[in-house]
Amino acid sequence: MDDSLLSLLRFGPQGWGDELLAGVRITLLLALATAPIGLVGGFLLALARRSQSARLRVPATIFTTVFKGLPELITLFIVYYGLSMLLSALLSLVSDVYVEVSSFLAGMIALGAVSASFASEVFLGAFAGIPKGQIEGAEALGLSRYARMRKVVLPQLLRLALPGLGNLWLVLLKDTALVSVIALPDLLRRTFVAVGATKEPFFFFFVAILIYFAMSLVSSVILGFLEARYSRGYAGR
Protein backbone atom coordinates (compact mmCIF):
# COMPACT_ATOMS: atom_id res chain seq x y z
CA MET A 1 0.00 0.00 0.00
CA ASP A 2 2.64 2.46 1.12
CA ASP A 3 4.93 1.44 -1.68
CA SER A 4 2.29 2.06 -4.32
CA LEU A 5 1.47 5.46 -2.80
CA LEU A 6 5.09 6.56 -2.95
CA SER A 7 5.37 5.36 -6.52
CA LEU A 8 2.75 7.99 -7.39
CA LEU A 9 5.48 10.56 -6.80
CA ARG A 10 7.76 9.10 -9.47
CA PHE A 11 8.96 11.34 -12.24
CA GLY A 12 7.87 10.61 -15.77
CA PRO A 13 4.52 9.81 -17.35
CA GLN A 14 3.36 7.43 -14.59
CA GLY A 15 4.17 9.53 -11.56
CA TRP A 16 3.25 13.01 -10.42
CA GLY A 17 6.72 14.04 -9.20
CA ASP A 18 7.58 16.15 -12.22
CA GLU A 19 4.16 17.85 -12.22
CA LEU A 20 4.52 18.80 -8.56
CA LEU A 21 8.04 20.06 -9.17
CA ALA A 22 6.77 22.25 -12.01
CA GLY A 23 4.22 23.58 -9.53
CA VAL A 24 6.95 24.39 -7.02
CA ARG A 25 8.69 26.34 -9.76
CA ILE A 26 5.57 28.46 -10.41
CA THR A 27 5.04 29.01 -6.68
CA LEU A 28 8.64 30.20 -6.24
CA LEU A 29 8.51 32.31 -9.41
CA LEU A 30 5.36 34.09 -8.25
CA ALA A 31 6.81 34.74 -4.79
CA LEU A 32 10.13 35.96 -6.24
CA ALA A 33 8.37 38.20 -8.77
CA THR A 34 6.11 39.70 -6.10
CA ALA A 35 8.72 40.30 -3.40
CA PRO A 36 10.42 43.27 -5.16
CA ILE A 37 7.01 44.95 -5.61
CA GLY A 38 6.38 44.57 -1.90
CA LEU A 39 9.85 45.79 -1.01
CA VAL A 40 10.00 48.88 -3.21
CA GLY A 41 6.29 49.63 -2.86
CA GLY A 42 6.50 49.29 0.90
CA PHE A 43 9.46 51.65 1.10
CA LEU A 44 7.73 54.27 -1.05
CA LEU A 45 4.53 53.90 0.98
CA ALA A 46 6.50 54.35 4.19
CA LEU A 47 8.11 57.52 2.80
CA ALA A 48 4.69 58.82 1.77
CA ARG A 49 3.19 58.04 5.17
CA ARG A 50 6.02 59.95 6.89
CA SER A 51 5.69 62.87 4.53
CA GLN A 52 4.76 66.38 5.71
CA SER A 53 2.36 66.78 2.83
CA ALA A 54 -1.14 65.46 3.43
CA ARG A 55 -1.56 64.88 -0.30
CA LEU A 56 0.95 62.02 -0.01
CA ARG A 57 0.21 60.94 3.53
CA VAL A 58 -3.55 60.47 3.32
CA PRO A 59 -3.75 58.29 0.17
CA ALA A 60 -0.84 56.15 1.36
CA THR A 61 -2.51 55.61 4.74
CA ILE A 62 -5.81 54.69 3.10
CA PHE A 63 -4.05 52.29 0.74
CA THR A 64 -2.30 50.46 3.57
CA THR A 65 -5.41 50.34 5.77
CA VAL A 66 -7.45 48.82 2.96
CA PHE A 67 -4.95 46.21 1.80
CA LYS A 68 -3.93 45.24 5.32
CA GLY A 69 -7.56 44.77 6.33
CA LEU A 70 -9.00 42.95 3.32
CA PRO A 71 -8.80 39.17 3.04
CA GLU A 72 -6.10 38.36 0.48
CA LEU A 73 -8.56 36.18 -1.40
CA ILE A 74 -11.05 39.01 -1.98
CA THR A 75 -8.22 41.31 -3.07
CA LEU A 76 -7.21 38.66 -5.54
CA PHE A 77 -10.74 38.32 -6.95
CA ILE A 78 -11.14 42.09 -7.20
CA VAL A 79 -7.87 42.43 -9.11
CA TYR A 80 -8.51 39.39 -11.31
CA TYR A 81 -12.11 40.08 -12.33
CA GLY A 82 -11.92 43.84 -11.95
CA LEU A 83 -8.85 44.28 -14.10
CA SER A 84 -10.19 41.94 -16.79
CA MET A 85 -13.49 43.83 -16.92
CA LEU A 86 -11.80 47.22 -16.85
CA LEU A 87 -9.39 46.37 -19.64
CA SER A 88 -12.16 44.83 -21.71
CA ALA A 89 -14.30 47.93 -21.22
CA LEU A 90 -11.41 50.16 -22.28
CA LEU A 91 -10.58 48.00 -25.29
CA SER A 92 -14.22 47.77 -26.33
CA LEU A 93 -13.95 51.43 -27.28
CA VAL A 94 -11.62 50.49 -30.10
CA SER A 95 -12.43 46.85 -30.85
CA ASP A 96 -14.64 44.06 -29.56
CA VAL A 97 -12.16 41.66 -27.94
CA TYR A 98 -12.55 40.36 -24.41
CA VAL A 99 -9.26 40.19 -22.55
CA GLU A 100 -8.51 38.21 -19.45
CA VAL A 101 -5.67 39.13 -17.14
CA SER A 102 -3.41 36.14 -16.54
CA SER A 103 -3.72 34.66 -13.08
CA PHE A 104 0.04 35.10 -12.59
CA LEU A 105 -0.18 38.85 -13.22
CA ALA A 106 -3.32 39.18 -11.08
CA GLY A 107 -1.55 37.32 -8.28
CA MET A 108 1.50 39.54 -8.60
CA ILE A 109 -0.54 42.74 -8.40
CA ALA A 110 -2.82 41.61 -5.57
CA LEU A 111 -0.14 40.02 -3.40
CA GLY A 112 2.22 42.89 -4.25
CA ALA A 113 -0.26 45.46 -2.94
CA VAL A 114 -0.78 43.42 0.24
CA SER A 115 2.92 42.88 0.94
CA ALA A 116 3.73 46.51 0.15
CA SER A 117 1.16 47.58 2.76
CA PHE A 118 2.62 45.32 5.43
CA ALA A 119 6.18 46.20 4.42
CA SER A 120 5.41 49.90 4.84
CA GLU A 121 4.54 49.09 8.46
CA VAL A 122 7.90 47.34 8.91
CA PHE A 123 9.77 50.27 7.35
CA LEU A 124 7.93 52.79 9.54
CA GLY A 125 9.03 50.83 12.59
CA ALA A 126 12.60 50.73 11.30
CA PHE A 127 12.62 54.50 10.63
CA ALA A 128 11.54 55.03 14.22
CA GLY A 129 14.44 52.84 15.37
CA ILE A 130 17.14 55.02 13.83
CA PRO A 131 18.50 57.41 16.48
CA LYS A 132 17.79 61.07 15.79
CA GLY A 133 21.48 61.87 16.22
CA GLN A 134 22.32 59.96 13.04
CA ILE A 135 20.22 62.31 10.93
CA GLU A 136 21.45 65.38 12.78
CA GLY A 137 25.02 64.17 12.31
CA ALA A 138 24.47 63.73 8.59
CA GLU A 139 22.98 67.23 8.40
CA ALA A 140 25.92 68.63 10.34
CA LEU A 141 28.26 67.03 7.80
CA GLY A 142 26.40 68.98 5.12
CA LEU A 143 25.19 65.88 3.28
CA SER A 144 22.43 66.45 0.76
CA ARG A 145 18.98 64.94 1.37
CA TYR A 146 19.75 62.16 -1.09
CA ALA A 147 23.18 61.34 0.35
CA ARG A 148 21.69 61.38 3.83
CA MET A 149 19.14 58.77 2.82
CA ARG A 150 21.52 56.69 0.75
CA LYS A 151 24.60 56.66 3.00
CA VAL A 152 23.27 57.09 6.53
CA VAL A 153 19.62 56.09 6.80
CA LEU A 154 19.26 53.18 4.36
CA PRO A 155 22.08 50.94 5.65
CA GLN A 156 20.74 51.16 9.19
CA LEU A 157 17.15 50.90 8.02
CA LEU A 158 17.75 47.59 6.23
CA ARG A 159 19.28 46.01 9.29
CA LEU A 160 16.34 47.05 11.45
CA ALA A 161 13.76 46.06 8.84
CA LEU A 162 15.26 42.69 7.93
CA PRO A 163 13.54 40.49 10.55
CA GLY A 164 10.14 41.98 9.69
CA LEU A 165 10.73 41.71 5.96
CA GLY A 166 11.86 38.11 6.40
CA ASN A 167 8.54 37.29 8.04
CA LEU A 168 6.71 38.98 5.19
CA TRP A 169 8.57 36.75 2.73
CA LEU A 170 7.35 33.67 4.62
CA VAL A 171 3.80 35.05 4.61
CA LEU A 172 4.05 35.77 0.89
CA LEU A 173 5.28 32.26 0.13
CA LYS A 174 2.20 30.84 1.85
CA ASP A 175 -0.18 33.36 0.27
CA THR A 176 0.82 32.28 -3.24
CA ALA A 177 -1.25 29.15 -2.58
CA LEU A 178 -4.37 31.33 -2.80
CA VAL A 179 -3.68 32.11 -6.45
CA SER A 180 -4.39 28.44 -7.23
CA VAL A 181 -8.06 29.36 -6.73
CA ILE A 182 -7.95 31.43 -9.94
CA ALA A 183 -6.29 28.51 -11.75
CA LEU A 184 -2.62 29.42 -11.58
CA PRO A 185 -0.85 26.04 -12.07
CA ASP A 186 1.18 26.36 -8.86
CA LEU A 187 2.01 23.59 -6.39
CA LEU A 188 -1.44 23.51 -4.79
CA ARG A 189 -3.28 23.56 -8.12
CA ARG A 190 -1.21 20.70 -9.49
CA THR A 191 -1.78 18.76 -6.31
CA PHE A 192 -5.48 19.23 -6.93
CA VAL A 193 -5.11 17.85 -10.46
CA ALA A 194 -3.17 14.86 -9.14
CA VAL A 195 -5.91 14.24 -6.56
CA GLY A 196 -8.55 14.35 -9.28
CA ALA A 197 -6.72 11.70 -11.28
CA THR A 198 -5.59 9.37 -8.50
CA LYS A 199 -8.35 9.76 -5.85
CA GLU A 200 -5.69 9.96 -3.14
CA PRO A 201 -6.45 13.37 -1.58
CA PHE A 202 -4.97 12.73 1.86
CA PHE A 203 -1.63 11.55 0.53
CA PHE A 204 -1.22 14.30 -2.05
CA PHE A 205 -2.31 17.22 0.13
CA PHE A 206 -0.04 15.93 2.86
CA VAL A 207 2.87 15.83 0.42
CA ALA A 208 2.04 19.38 -0.73
CA ILE A 209 2.03 20.58 2.88
CA LEU A 210 5.41 18.95 3.48
CA ILE A 211 6.81 20.68 0.38
CA TYR A 212 5.49 24.07 1.56
CA PHE A 213 7.00 23.36 4.95
CA ALA A 214 10.37 22.54 3.37
CA MET A 215 10.28 25.83 1.43
CA SER A 216 9.53 27.73 4.65
CA LEU A 217 12.37 25.97 6.46
CA VAL A 218 14.93 26.68 3.74
CA SER A 219 13.76 30.31 3.60
CA SER A 220 14.15 30.78 7.33
CA VAL A 221 17.65 29.30 7.29
CA ILE A 222 18.66 31.75 4.53
CA LEU A 223 16.99 34.64 6.37
CA GLY A 224 18.88 33.67 9.51
CA PHE A 225 22.17 33.94 7.61
CA LEU A 226 21.17 37.32 6.16
CA GLU A 227 20.23 38.68 9.56
CA ALA A 228 23.50 37.53 11.06
CA ARG A 229 25.40 39.14 8.21
CA TYR A 230 23.58 42.46 8.39
CA SER A 231 24.06 42.78 12.13
CA ARG A 232 27.68 41.66 12.22
CA GLY A 233 28.75 45.19 13.17
CA TYR A 234 26.49 45.06 16.20
CA ALA A 235 27.60 41.86 17.93
CA GLY A 236 27.15 41.82 21.67
CA ARG A 237 25.02 44.93 21.88
Please say whether the beta carbons of 172 and 146 come within 8 A.
Answer: no
C-beta closer to other proteins: residue 108 or 114: 114
Q: C-beta of 214: minimal distance to other proteins in Å?
A: 9
170 binds other proteins (CB under 8 A): yes
Q: C-beta of 145: minimal distance to other proteins in Å?
A: 29
Nearest to 188 by CA among 197, 179, 200, 196: 179
C-beta closer to other proteins: residue 61 or 149: 61
Please say whether the beta carbons of 173 and 219 come within 8 A.
Answer: yes
24 binds other proteins (CB under 8 A): no
Q: C-beta of 90: minimal distance to other proteins in Å?
A: 14
| Conformational region of residue 236, where left means phi above 0, alpha means psi within -120 to 50, and beta covers everything else | left
71 binds other proteins (CB under 8 A): yes
Amino acid type, 206: F
Q: C-beta of 142: minimal distance to other proteins in Å?
A: 33
Please say whether the beta carbons of 109 and 79 come within 8 A.
Answer: yes
* Out of 125, 150, 155, 225, the residue judged to bind other proteins by CB under 8 A: 125
Please say whether the beta carbons of 134 and 160 come within 8 A.
Answer: no
209 binds other proteins (CB under 8 A): yes
Residue 184 burial (10 A CB sphere; 0-12, 13-18, 19+): buried
Size of site (CB under 8 A) for other proteins: 47
Q: Can you tell me the distance from the alpha carbon of 35 to that of 204, in angstroms, rounded to the nearest whole number? A: 28
- Contact residues: other proteins, CB under 8 A: 65-66, 69-74, 77-78, 81-82, 85, 125, 163-164, 166-167, 170, 174-178, 180-181, 188, 191-192, 195, 199-203, 205-206, 208-209, 212-213, 216-217, 219-220, 223-224
